[in-house]
Amino acid sequence: MAYLTLTNINKIYPNGFHAVHDFNLEAEKGEFIVFVGPSGCGKSTTLRMIAGLEDISKGEFRINGELANQWGPREREIAMVFQSYALYPQMTVYDNLAFGLSLQGVDEDVIEERVKKTAKILGLTDYLDRLPRALSGGQRQRVAVGRSIIRKVGIFLMDEPLSNLDAKQRVTMRSEITQIHRETGATTIYVTHDQTEAMTMADRIVVMKAGYVQQIGTPREVYFNPKNVFVAGFIGEPPMNFVRSRLERGSISIDEQVLNLKPLLGDKAAAYDRKEIIFGFRPEHIVLGHQENAFHLTGIVELTEMLGDNANIYINIGDNKAILKVEPHDIPELDVELPFSIPYEFVYLFDAETENVIDLDRPKSVE
């Protein structure tokens, strides 16, 4: 196992494009870190710098405290799984799994033992004689993962390994990878644009946007205490609802419905007077009807989506759109007025200019 330290890491590509800005992270031994963010935000670039496949333009990268910027990929003792599985098409599953160990000159009987053990962990025992083309996407993915874990390295890097699988296979592989991580204990960095993968697999999540780290935290932290509008909107499904409004003497109006924010803003109400703020709440945190210690709003039901264990209600509050998550037996008729409450503890306020969260006087959701 290894620990990794990234200090002010930057990537400037030869064409001058600055893809990663001052990336700082300490990955502890055995930690499962997920880089998440929209396409082009610099996740893969950062991972490739860790792997030694891409030069680090500025900053320091350390493995177990030792400066590793100039180390080649092999010296870093890293295993990497790519989106394209990169299997050898002319080799059987057995040989694909064994190849890396053979190159290292490991004894044949040790290789056989490890191949069998790895195949067992990944449910590939019955497929060892097959060529990759005779496997399903999920099975190929398992071979790719197997080829990495068989080497027993301290650092495991994965770049969107599940993106070629269908939705069901993704869910299965998600839990399998988590389980393999538990068994191998390798420090893992996993890249995805899928926030559900990030939330379900990570010890800590690094949320990125346009080359900048937005927030690093546990799944609970980024969900309950997002630092800015971007993180709040990216983590959570359906995303957080946002309404922009101007604060006037401690209150905002949303389609002429006045919400007094003083209980949350306290002394800060004066500082934000006559400024635009963004009022945020998650679809799953609302309560239908009237509840104490909550803000009350009424919307017109535009669309409903029955999902089985819950339902999404799309509403209009004047010109503002919002989504509410409710129990299936609470699905309203279309076009009716739907009153709902947002408990104070689940309201987020953001400075509309900086888009940073405003610290509020309210019971903390996460301690």
Q: Report, in Å, the least distance between residue 35 CB and ligand ATP.
A: 8
Tokens of 356: 């940073």
Q: Report, in Å, the least distance between residue 44 CB and ligand ATP.
A: 3
Query: Which residue number, 159 or 264, has a Cβ lying nearer to ligand ATP?
Result: 159
Query: Which residue number, 211 or 219, has a Cβ lying nearer to ligand ATP?
Result: 211
Query: Which residue number, 39 or 104, has a Cβ lying nearer to ligand ATP?
Result: 39
Q: Which of residues 256-275 bind ligand ATP (CB under 6 A)?
A: none
43 binds ligand ATP (CB under 6 A): yes
**Strand order across the 187-192 sheet:** 78-81, 155-159, 187-192, 32-36, 204-209, 212-217
Count, residues near ligand ATP per rule CB under 6 A: 13
Query: What DSSP string describes 28-64?
Result: PTT-EEEEE-STTSSHHHHHHHHHTSS--SEEEEEET
Angstrom distance (rounded) from CA 207 to CA 229: 12
Query: Which residue number, 22 or 345, has a Cβ lying nearer to ligand ATP?
Result: 22
Give the residue, chosen from 5, 45, 139, 148, that forms a contact with ligand ATP under the rule CB under 6 A: 45
Query: Is 87 within 8 Å of 96 (Cβ atoms)?
Result: yes
15 binds ligand ATP (CB under 6 A): yes
Residue 221 host element (H or E): helix 219-224
Q: Give the total residue count for the chain.
A: 367
Q: How many CB atoms lie within 10 A of CB 230?
A: 19
84 binds ligand ATP (CB under 6 A): no
17 binds ligand ATP (CB under 6 A): yes
Q: Report, in Å, the least distance between residue 157 CB and ligand ATP.
A: 13
Q: Report, in Å, the least distance between residue 193 CB and ligand ATP.
A: 5
Query: Which residue number, 50 or 315, has a Cβ lying nearer to ligand ATP?
Result: 50
Residue type, position 188, single letter:
T
Q: Report, in Å, the least distance between residue 19 CB and ligand ATP.
A: 4
Q: Report, in Å, the least distance between residue 169 CB and ligand ATP.
A: 20
55 binds ligand ATP (CB under 6 A): no
Query: Which residue number, 156 or 340, has a Cβ lying nearer to ligand ATP?
Result: 156
Question: Going by C-beta distance under 8 Å and a sequence separation of 6 or more, which residues neighbour residue 283?
Answer: 238, 240, 241, 312, 322, 323, 324, 325
Tokens of 51: 């792997």
**Residue corresponding to tokens 């679809």:** 283
Interacting residues toward ligand ATP by CB under 6 A: 13, 15, 17, 19, 37, 39-45, 193
